[in-house]
Amino acid sequence: MSSSSNDEVYEVFEEMVDQQIDDFIDSVIANDPKRRVYIERDREQGHNQLWHDYFSENPTYPPEMFRRRFRMNKPLFLRIVERLNNEVPYFQQRINGHGRRGLFALQKCTSAIRMLAYGQAGDANDEYLRLAASTALLCLENFTEAIIQLFGDEYLRRPTPEDLQRLLDAGEARGFPGMIGSIDCMHWEWKNCPTAWKGQYTRTLNDINVLDQSPVFDDILQGRAPKVKFKVNDHTYRMAYYLTDGIYPNWTTFIQSIKLPQGPKAELFAERQESTRKDVERAFGVLQSRFAIVKNPALLWDKEKIGKIMRTCVILHNMIVEDERHGYIQIDTSEFE
């Protein structure tokens, strides 16, 4: 009698275990994520279209339209593409497991430039360049890192003696001997700033607070200011200066306007100082017109990536200025609209 009762217990136990195993398998199968749908984008067609439109011997679009859409002249863009293709593995064309070639460096760089220039979403490049939104974001991330790594030391450097002399000559020609530029700050709104961080990025970060956090004047504060020599009214000075507005402190290296000028000389100085100082505001305007991504609110979640985008735009801006320095007097920002 006891033997049969034990057998019944074992059978019930086995049924319970089998049922639990079946339930577990069903739950795993039910929760198995669906694989994403593969879309044949014909990336080769995208590259061929891009090549014939802008880079062939007889391109569809003329050089001025290339500059408008890529924000730079074609030789400079090709120089950037060549450096990235030769020195950055991500931009080198690869062959996948099916023996098919991947995206060309030209497509990846064009996608990144378009996102910087127009501030558009990665998905906007899909129809023309034939790459997915996730790939476009990877192109942008790797492009910014590569630009900073390959060109940052040259185009975000401290002024060389030649740069300094050119700035001094330009300042003297405008009536300000010893001036090496104007100083101001620009804000870039972070739309997706985490709620817990919002107190760190308030609108109280005006020019003077930004100055306290900026490394721009560390050399001056530590006694390593650019060594120059110029004369004004028979007095010799050995420290260069910047033009600023009235919010900045009364440092030797800051020359402000006169709030209530009295007399013709003071009025003339105030007028010239305020007129010349607008250069820095125009520079910010050109930067935002050329790269709309820094004009619109930042949509990324990672502040390091946001910082790299800004640094990349400044580097590219400086490269463009160097490339076009002798070809224009003043930029027409409407050509980028």
Q: Average the pLDDT over 105-115 and give the result.
A: 94
- The mean pLDDT of the chain is 81
- Residues paired with residue 239 on neighbouring β-strands, in sequence order: 227
Higher pLDDT, 253 or 145: 145
Examine the pLDDT at 241 and tell me if it is beyond 90.
Answer: no
Domain ranges of the chain: 1-33, 43-155, 161-299
Query: Cα–Cα distance between 164 and 241 in angstroms, integer?
Result: 12
Higher pLDDT, 119 or 252: 119
Q: What is the pLDDT of residue 296?
A: 85
Q: How would residue 330 be classed by pLDDT, with cut points 50, 70 and 90? A: low
For residue 146, how many C-alpha atoms fall within 13 Å in the half-sphere facing its CB?
Answer: 24
| Out of 113-127, 186-200, 274-288, least confident range | 186-200
Q: What is the pLDDT of residue 12?
A: 63
Higher pLDDT, 286 or 159: 286
Per-residue model confidence as pLDDT tens digits over 73-102: 999 999 999 999 999 999 998 877 666 778
Q: How would residue 130 be classed by pLDDT, with cut points 50, 70 and 90? A: confident
Q: What predicted TM-score, i.e. pTM, was given to this entire model?
A: 0.78
Examine the pLDDT at 9 and tell me if it is beyond 70.
Answer: no
* Cβ proximity of 277 and 243 under 8 Å: yes
DSSP character for 191? T
Higher pLDDT, 193 or 157: 157
What is the DSSP secondary-structure string of 71-90?
Answer: SS-HHHHHHHHHHHHHH-GG
Residue type, 86: N
Query: Cα–Cα distance between 30 and 18 in angstroms, integer?
Result: 18
| Out of 252-256, 264-268, 314-318, least confident range | 252-256
Q: What is the pLDDT of residue 190?
A: 79
Per-residue model confidence as pLDDT tens digits over 24-80: 666 655 555 556 666 767 778 888 999 999 999 999 999 999 999 999 999 999 999
Q: In the structure encoding, which two tokens stand for residue 242, read together? A: 């910047």
Q: How would residue 263 be classed by pLDDT, with cut points 50, 70 and 90? A: confident
Most confident range (mean pLDDT) of 152-166, 176-190, 308-322 is 308-322
Q: Percentage helix, strand, coil, to 5, in the chain? A: 60, 5, 35
